[in-house]
Amino acid sequence: MTSFLKPENALKRAEELINVGQKQDALQTLHDLITSKRYRAWQKTLERIMFKYVELCVDMRKGRFAKDGLIQYRIICQQVNVSSLEEVIKHFMQLSTEKAEQARSQAQALEEALDVDDLEADKRPEDLMLSYVSGEKGKDRSDRETVTPWFKFLWETYRTVLEILRNNSKLEALYAMTAHRAFQFCKQYKRTTEFRRLCEIIRNHLANLNKYRDQRDRPDLSAPESLQLYLDTRFEQLKIATELGLWQEAFRSVEDIHGLMCLVKKTPKPSLMVVYYVKLTEIFWISSSHLYHAYAWFKLFLLQKSFNKNLSQKDLQLIASSVVLAALSVPPHDHTHGASHLELEHEKERNLRMANLIGFNLETKPESREMLSRSSLLAELASKGVMSCVTQEVKDIYHLLEHEFYPSDLALKALPLITKISKLGGKLSTASSVPEVQLAQYVPALERLATMRLLQQVSNVYQSMKIETLSGMIPFFDFSQVEKVSVDAVKQKFVSMRVDHMKNAVIFCKKSLESDGLRDHLANFAEQLNKARQMIYPPDRRSSKLGALLPSLTEVVAKEHKRLLARKSIIEKRKEEQERQLLEMEREEESKRLRLLKITEEAEQRRLATEFEQRKNQRILREIEERENEEAQALLQEAEKRIKKKGKKPIIEGDKITKQTLMELTLTEQLRERQEMEKKLQKLAKTMDHLERAKREEAAPLIEAAYQQRLVEERLLHDREQQVHIESTFVCCSCIFACVTWILAFSFIFSLK
């Protein structure tokens, strides 16, 4: 790791490395500088270094390096200059976006060039072979090789920036801007998977914000500016989700908005609430939840009528018509008929959940399930005066399908009205927050409702009817479709009928079917047994009942009095408990205020300590700079003396010579002297070589004569040594022979003895 005295030197070194093509080394140099603990005070040079750093990260697609550098730069400048961090991050995202667009343009240009390369052949032979082997087209292959890496890097850029800026009150505006740009990226390039992940990331950030409430620089959602930024982000998320067709994610976005409103207990601006209900109508319509769709339209109508004073009468009429038609589109039968207790409980919970999202307050009582119903909605529309605002065609179709009785020609009377309604709607004026209203979407539901009403009225008049006659009464559908509608109506107990295809007739019977009789057999049996018991054992007369009740009346009154006293005691205890809880809450608020005050004081002390440390560091830097200037002056004087001694003219560059310049001059002079010394040594070595060669040439014959003389002397010496050796060998042999003779003699003597 190279250490630099000043950040400018690191930037200069990085530019030199870039010029020679060593971008990785340049990036590592800047990364070491940014992550170093030596440079913790913000200065303008660091901003230029960060610009160059993010440019290198984008060029080399080094997302991890970019994240580390931005985190360190956030630590450096979030307390001093947040705008600098904003500029760096904007530059980072802009570079990533431009690279992705450039890669996309290159891929398109390459594809066009390949298409026009040969007018007689669609594809080159190598392209055909490659497509058969890999199973992908040329465009897919070019996208995978060129476009996908840059799009992946751009997505990683957005994720990195959001992770760096999350849950910081000083960076929340930049966080919201980044989230909006990420949403637009997903919308522009149809990135549905990345959009889901982005929504989950933002959702987790908000959850962590609520989880860690003692976090430093935590955004305060109760502040209007912060709340507006968070709501704008969620509403943008909702818009993009509906435009991409991700209806499940759109519903989760609605839940996020509602949860945020419940968290801060504040209602957004009416313009945002209009968008909220418009998207709710789309979501509920796609999910075939017609009842909730109608309620959402009703809330939208009330909101527009109350807050939009510039709304024209025509626009209000179309919105009111949508409300009424949405209510009529709700099936008239109870779809919970015959459901189990568990299913009813699930339906109740679902109603409560949807009512909270729409804005209706339902109580958690068993009978509250009936509050969100078709009949209650129509009654509410009549009481709120919605019927007076609708068009005449909608008003006529409402009265025809809900209040009139035309068993034979109800559908024929409804047909022209439905045809007129299908032509109504369109774009609304700019004063309306609702972009457009299309009444034609309700035509299939109206035709289905008209068919069910006709079957209901016909079943009250006729016992049987030919299939052809019934088909002639309903001009919307053929009989197969009518049969499907009738099956649903019979299943939900709306109509009691059956179709006999053998007789080619429709038979209308009583409401209860044979299956109902089998299902309710035990209940009917119990009811008949109860009647028989009353006939066998008739009840006592009324006077006897009263006579039996009067003696126990005093006891009942006493019990009721005790119950009331107990209830009074319970109420008093609850009041005391409530007062105790209020007192406890006040104590907690006071302790929280004291903690916040202590945290503020500690933060102020830390700030003062940081400023003191910064001033100390600046003083040390000034002292270092002054010391360097003194050393530079000393080096300058020494250099001038040395140059004057050699009789050369001093070299002065500008008015001021720095220590670095003097060191460079000194190094240059030393290098020149070293080169001159090397030249002298080379010349001396050459002279010594010639002298040594001459000496060896003169000594060669003398060495040869000495060598020959030495050979003669060594030969004589060898002969003398040989003679001495022979003589010594003869003496030794004589001694050995004498010894052997003596030994033999002694052994013979001993043998004689």
Same domain (yes/no): 502, 370: yes
**Is the confidence at residue 132, as pLDDT, over 60?**
no
Q: What is the mean pLDDT of residues 153-167?
A: 88
Residue ending a domain, choose from 651, 667, 695:
695
Measured at the CA of 435, the angle between CA 432 and CA 437, to 5 degrees, comes to 100
pLDDT tens figures, 46-89: 888 888 888 888 888 888 888 888 888 888 887 777 888 888 88
Same domain (yes/no): 511, 629: no
Which residue blocks in 20-62 are alpha helix, DSSP H? 23-35, 44-60
What's the total number of domains in the chain?
A: 2
SS3 annotation, 139-158? HHHHHHHHHHHHHHHHHHHH
Q: What is the mean pLDDT of residues 681-695?
A: 91
Cα gap 120→97, rounded to integer Å? 38
Cα gap 293→300, rounded to integer Å? 11
Strands 497-500 and 505-508: antiparallel
Q: What ranges make up the beta strands (E) of 643-725?
A: none
Q: What is the mean pLDDT of residues 401-429?
A: 86
Which tokens sit at 554? 């005093």
Residue that has been written with the tokens 């940014």 in this structure: 34
Same domain (yes/no): 515, 627: no
Query: Residue 323 sits in a domain of what CATH number?
Result: 1.25.40.860
Residue 71 lies in a domain: no
Name beta bridge partners: 497: 508
Residue ending a domain, choose from 676, 695, 714:
695
**Is the confidence at residue 565, as pLDDT, over 80?**
yes
Which tokens sit at 605? 């002390």
**Is the confidence at residue 120, as pLDDT, over 80?**
no
In our burial notation (b when 16+ CB lie closer than 10 A, e otherwise), range 343-369 reads eeeeebeebbebbebbbbebeeeeeeb
Cα gap 219→169, rounded to integer Å? 4
pLDDT tens figures, 377-396: 888 888 888 888 888 998 99
Cα gap 260→456, rounded to integer Å? 46
Residue ending a domain, choose from 643, 668, 695:
695
Position 366 confidence tier, pLDDT thresholds 50, 70, 90 = very low
Which tokens sit at 468? 């052809």
Please state which of the ranges 6-20, 407-421, 634-648, 661-675 shows the lowest mean pLDDT. Answer: 634-648
Nearest CA among 305, 296, 251 for reference residue 277: 296
Residue 222 lies in a domain: no
User: Strand, helix or coil at 431?
Assistant: coil
- 707 in Cβ contact with 714 (< 8 Å): no
pLDDT tens figures, 275-315: 888 889 999 989 888 899 999 999 988 888 888 778 888 88
Same domain (yes/no): 474, 339: yes
Position 363 confidence tier, pLDDT thresholds 50, 70, 90 = very low
Q: What is the mean pLDDT of residues 187-213?
A: 87
Local structure of residue 81 (DSSP, 8 states): -
- 381 in Cβ contact with 327 (< 8 Å): yes
What is the chain's Cα-based Rg?
51
Count, in order, helices (H) and strands (E) of the chain: 27, 5
pLDDT tens figures, 19-38: 888 888 888 888 888 877 77
Residues 6+ apart with CB under 8 A from 672: none
Phi, psi of 472 (to 5 degrees): -70, -25
pLDDT score at 115: 47
In this structure, the chain runs to a length of 753
pLDDT score at 341: 66
Cα gap 29→2, rounded to integer Å? 7
Residue, of 546 and 262, whose pLDDT is higher: 262
Residue that has been written with the tokens 């008239």 in this structure: 332
Q: What is the mean pLDDT of residues 677-688?
A: 91
Position 114 confidence tier, pLDDT thresholds 50, 70, 90 = very low
| Start-to-end C-alpha separation, the chain | 106
- 447 in Cβ contact with 485 (< 8 Å): no
Q: What is the mean pLDDT of residues 112-138?
A: 49
pLDDT score at 540: 57
Strands 425-427 and 464-466: unpaired
Same domain (yes/no): 642, 515: no
Local structure of residue 233 (DSSP, 8 states): H
Mean pLDDT, the chain, whole residue set: 81
pLDDT score at 582: 82
Residues 6+ apart with CB under 8 A from 306: 270
Same domain (yes/no): 630, 513: no
Position 227 confidence tier, pLDDT thresholds 50, 70, 90 = confident
**Is the confidence at residue 736, as pLDDT, over 80?**
yes
**Is the confidence at residue 711, as pLDDT, over 50?**
yes
Query: Which amino acid makes up residue 258?
Result: H
Residue 356 lies in a domain: yes
pLDDT tens figures, 614-658: 888 888 888 888 887 787 777 777 777 766 665 554 554 444 556
Residue 611 lies in a domain: no
Cα gap 374→293, rounded to integer Å? 11
Q: What is the mean pLDDT of residues 225-241?
A: 90
pLDDT score at 184: 92
Residue 277 lies in a domain: yes
Q: What is the mean pLDDT of residues 146-151?
A: 81
Range of the domain at 510: 269-519
User: Strand, helix or coil at 753?
Assistant: coil
Q: In what order do the strands lie in the sheet with 497-500?
A: 464-466, 505-508, 497-500
Residues 6+ apart with CB under 8 A from 375: none
Cα gap 269→375, rounded to integer Å? 31
pLDDT score at 241: 92
Cα pseudo-dihedral 342, 346, 347, 350, rounded to 10: 170
Residue 198 lies in a domain: no
Which residue blocks in 287-409 are alpha helix, DSSP H? 290-307, 313-328, 341-358, 374-383, 392-402
Residue 219 lies in a domain: no
Q: What is the mean pLDDT of residues 90-104?
A: 87
**Is the confidence at residue 554, as pLDDT, over 80?**
no
Position 544 confidence tier, pLDDT thresholds 50, 70, 90 = very low
SS3 annotation, 157-199? HHHHHHHHHCCCCCCHHHHHHHHHHHHHHHHHCCCHHHHHHHH
In our burial notation (b when 16+ CB lie closer than 10 A, e otherwise), range 643-679 reads eeeeeeeeeeeeeebebebbeebeeebeeeeeeeeee
Cα gap 1→37, rounded to integer Å? 13
Q: What is the mean pLDDT of residues 478-489?
A: 88
Position 131 confidence tier, pLDDT thresholds 50, 70, 90 = low
Residue 652 lies in a domain: yes
Residue, of 431 and 582, whose pLDDT is higher: 582
For 234, 250, 251, 255, 627, the CA distances from 259, given in Å and listed in that order, are 11, 14, 12, 6, 62
Nearest CA among 426, 441, 440 for reference residue 315: 426
- 271 in Cβ contact with 433 (< 8 Å): yes
Q: What is the mean pLDDT of residues 197-222?
A: 82
Which tokens sit at 281? 């109508």
- 463 in Cβ contact with 407 (< 8 Å): no
User: Strand, helix or coil at 711?
Assistant: helix
Which tokens sit at 74? 């956030």
Residue, of 678 and 334, whose pLDDT is higher: 678
Which tokens sit at 102? 């450039």
pLDDT score at 644: 67
Residues 6+ apart with CB under 8 A from 435: 278, 427, 428
